[in-house]
Amino acid sequence: MSQSHSIYDFSVNNSVGENKDLEDYRGKVLLIVNTASKCGFTPQYTGLQALHDKYHTQGLVIIAMPCNQFGAQEPGSDETIQDFCQLNYGLSFPVMAKVDVNGSQQHPLYRYLTKEAGGLITDSIKWNFTKFLVDREGNVTERFAPMTKPKSIKKHIENLL
C-alpha cells in the first residue's frame, strides 16, 4: 500500500457499513474522536454536540469513531451504538462503524493520526475520547487527551474556522 500523505486519502465505514471517503470533508475542520457508550467520558457527547451545533455551519465536522478496545466499554453493534447516541444525546454528527484504534487491527486512519500527532510517552491511543483536530487543508494540528472537555477546545476550533 502506498504511503498516505493526507487525511483525505482515508475512508471509514459509516454505521450501516457504507464506505465514506474523508475526501468528502475537504475544506472542513474535522474533530475526530474515538468514543464509547459505557465510559466515564461518555457525557462528553453533550459537549461534542454543543460544538457541532455552534460551528457546523462554519465548517466544523465532528466524526465519532466508536471503539471497544478500552475496558470493553463499547460492546454493542453499530446499530445499538446509533440507538444509544440518538436516545441519550440526540447526536446529529456522524457516528461511524466501530474500529480498532490500536494494535494489529488498527484502522489505517488511526495509524496516520497517531503518526501525525503523537501522544505522551507513546503515540498509541490511551483511552476513549482522544480527540484529533484537523484543519481545512487536512493537516492534523492537535491531539487532545480524553479528559480534555470539548468546550475547552473551542478556541482551537475557532482559530481554524
Q: Regarding beta strands 140-144 and 29-35, do their DSSP bridges make them parallel or antiparallel, or are they unpaired?
A: unpaired
Number of other CB atoms surrounding residue 10 within 10 Å: 19
Given 29, 39, 101, 157, which residue is catalytic? 39
Contact 42, 87 (CB under 8 A): no
Any catalytic annotation for residue 85? no
What residues contact residue 158 under an 8 Å CB cut-off, 6+ apart?
Answer: 55
Angle between helices 44-55 and 78-89 (to 10 degrees): 80
Please choose, from the candidates 123, 135, 116, the residue with its C-alpha nearest in 3D space to the C-alpha of residue 3: 116
Active site residues: 39
